[in-house]
């Protein structure tokens, strides 16, 4: 479809019909919504530029077809999505069923569209549309959309009449008023009917800051602002980008009111303090912990429902324990948890060796499917489940030894405690762990002159023993002194011999 804008800009004398026919000849997957190139062209009819929400800030959506193949909705980052059912009544999109189901499973507000072929029977196309969506649309299902950007060789009056036939059948069959998708210039040139203003408008316009709308409408409901190419949008990812002109709440209302999320969890309790108070741990310490959550979604939790690290997601935690599923997965569900039920996620925190204050964040996810905090799901947010942990250095062992009492030996300090000083002349006792030992004046351990310790009794016998020890020590001293004098005497005698 890009060739349309190029030739129009060049002033080529080609008709839109001819170019569309050329495009459909090369389209092996059928035609898809791409009328936005018309914004770059011109028309003989007046159009009105109409601003709304910022195209990057409003609720984001995607519209897909078999051109995108097996589309990964988990990475689209959208609140709503539309999948093509068919190109006319003859080409059925093989990816519609899987896209339709996956959008619902992921909690994405879903819609279906049909590339309308004015040259084919309008009733047959409308009936196919109703059949494929299963009749009446439910909560979370956006109105069906008719993609009007081809003429099929029909006159404006015929095209307008067939659109009305299609809309009447689809509205009655699905219970919701359909949306009309088109380009402002295409509608002005090839439909030329201003009586459709009562139906929501999905305008296609690539490039401008505000789109133009055709005669008959005063505002737009959806805007396809990009075809996935970065030349038209900074968030191009290879698929059509759309925005809803309103709030997320208004979008849900359009889809049929409040929609219960597929996956959701609410906080019940946790074993560690709230983040305003730090949990203290010693370096290398391992501590049992748990977080209890309630299933607020519509789908049971199973073995793929897990706690995961967040802020950022899937980071390796400094507190990962060998019992964790992985360094970024503390725990998972064992068995199943029905909607409304609660589950205690139990895990261990293993403190790192480096002291400091750490902030740990956790989220919930269905592994390989979605995070509970993704758009359309029920939470909790990535920054809600938090633990503030202060890691301190591990304590050393042993304390200072007490001073020795007079004539006694100092007692040894126990682990973490200080030994008390000896009382009187006795040695100190040993301090108990974490306590203080006092000395005894009547008993203790006395070292002899060879360094060995001799046990001395207490009481009166103890005092007698001390006298005995003193006498023995005095005798030893005198004996040693006498020996010293005797050793010097012969020298003096040799010096005085006759």
Give one DSSP letter per residue of 260-318, joined into a string: --SS-EEEEEESS--TTSPEEEETT-EEEEEEEEEE-SSS-B-TTEEEEETTTTTPPPT
Residues written for the chain: 498
> Cβ(427)–Cβ(408) under 8 Å?
yes
φ, ψ of residue 355 to 5 degrees: the values are -65, 155
How many Å apart are CA 300 and CA 288, to the nearest integer? 26
Q: What 3-state class would DSSP assign to 400?
A: coil
Q: What 3-state class would DSSP assign to 144?
A: coil
Residue 356 DSSP symbol:
E
Which residues neighbour 381 within 8 Å (Cβ) at sequence distance 6 or greater? 363, 373
Please identify which of the residues 38, 63, 87, 93 carries the catalytic annotation.
63
How many Å apart are CA 187 and CA 257, to the nearest integer? 31
How many CB atoms are located within 10 Å of the residue 474 CB? 10
- Within 46-155, residue ranges assigned H as helices are 96-105, 122-132
Peptide bond into 380 cis (omega under 30): yes
Note if 366 is an active site residue. no
Looking up tokens 């004098």 gives: 485
Please identify which of the residues 39, 87, 93, 149 carries the catalytic annotation.
149
Note if 442 is an active site residue. no
Active site residues: 63, 149
């Amino acid at each position: 479809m890009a060739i349309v804008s190029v030739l129009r800009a060049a002033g080529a004398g080609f008709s839109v019909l001819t170019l569309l026919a050329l495009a459909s000849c090369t389209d092996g997957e059928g035609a898809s919504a791409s009328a936005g190139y018309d914004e770059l062209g011109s028309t003989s009819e007046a159009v009105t530029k109409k601003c709304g929400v910022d195209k990057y800030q409003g609720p984001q959506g995607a519209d897909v077809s078999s051109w995108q193949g097996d589309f990964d909705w988990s990475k689209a980052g959208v609140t709503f999505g539309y999948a093509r059912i068919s190109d006319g009544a003859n080409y059925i999109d093989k990816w519609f069923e899987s896209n339709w189901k996956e959008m619902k499973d992921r909690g994405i507000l879903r819609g279906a569209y049909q590339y309308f072929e004015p040259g084919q029977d309008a009733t047959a196309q409308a009936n196919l549309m109703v059949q494929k969506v299963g009749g009446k649309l439910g909560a979370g299902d956006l109105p069906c959309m008719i993609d009007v950007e081809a003429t099929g060789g029909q006159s404006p009056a015929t095209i307008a009449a067939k659109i009305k036939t299609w809309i009447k059948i689809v509205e009655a069959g699905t219970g919701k008023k359909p949306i009309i998708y088109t380009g402002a210039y295409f509608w002005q040139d090839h439909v030329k009917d201003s009586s459709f203003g009562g139906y929501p408008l999905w305008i296609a316009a690539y490039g401008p800051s505000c789109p133009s709308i055709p005669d008959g409408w005063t505002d737009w409901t959806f805007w396809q602002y990009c075809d996935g190419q970065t030349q038209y949008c900074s968030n191009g990812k290879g698929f059509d980008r759309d925005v809803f002109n309103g709030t997320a709440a208004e979008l849900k209302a359009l889809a049929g009111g409040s929609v219960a999320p597929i996956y959701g969890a609410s906080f019940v309790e946790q074993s560690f303090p709230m983040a305003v108070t730090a949990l203290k741990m010693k370096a290398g310490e391992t501590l049992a912990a748990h977080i209890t959550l309630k299933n607020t979604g519509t789908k049971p939790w199973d073995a793929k429902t897990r706690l995961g690290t967040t802020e950022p997601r899937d980071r390796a935690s400094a507190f990962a324990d060998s019992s964790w599923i992985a360094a970024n997965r503390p725990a998972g569900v064992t068995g199943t948890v029905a909607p409304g039920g609660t589950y205690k996620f139990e895990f261990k925190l293993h403190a790192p060796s480096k002291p400091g204050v750490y902030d740990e964040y956790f989220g919930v996810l269905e592994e390989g499917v979605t995070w509970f905090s993704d758009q359309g799901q029920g939470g909790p947010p990535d920054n809600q489940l938090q633990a503030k942990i202060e890691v301190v250095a591990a304590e050393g062992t042993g304390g200072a030894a007490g001073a020795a009492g007079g004539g006694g030996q100092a007692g040894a300090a126990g682990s973490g405690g200080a030994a008390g000083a000896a009382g009187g002349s006795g040695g100190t006792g040993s301090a108990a762990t974490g306590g203080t030992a006092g000395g005894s004046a009547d008993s203790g351990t006395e070292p002899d002159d060879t360094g060995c310790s001799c046990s001395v009794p207490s009481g009166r016998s103890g005092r007698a023993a001390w006298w005995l020890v003193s006498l023995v020590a005095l005798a030893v001293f005198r004996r040693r002194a006498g020996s010293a004098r005797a050793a010097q005497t012969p020298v003096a005698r040799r010096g005085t011999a006759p």
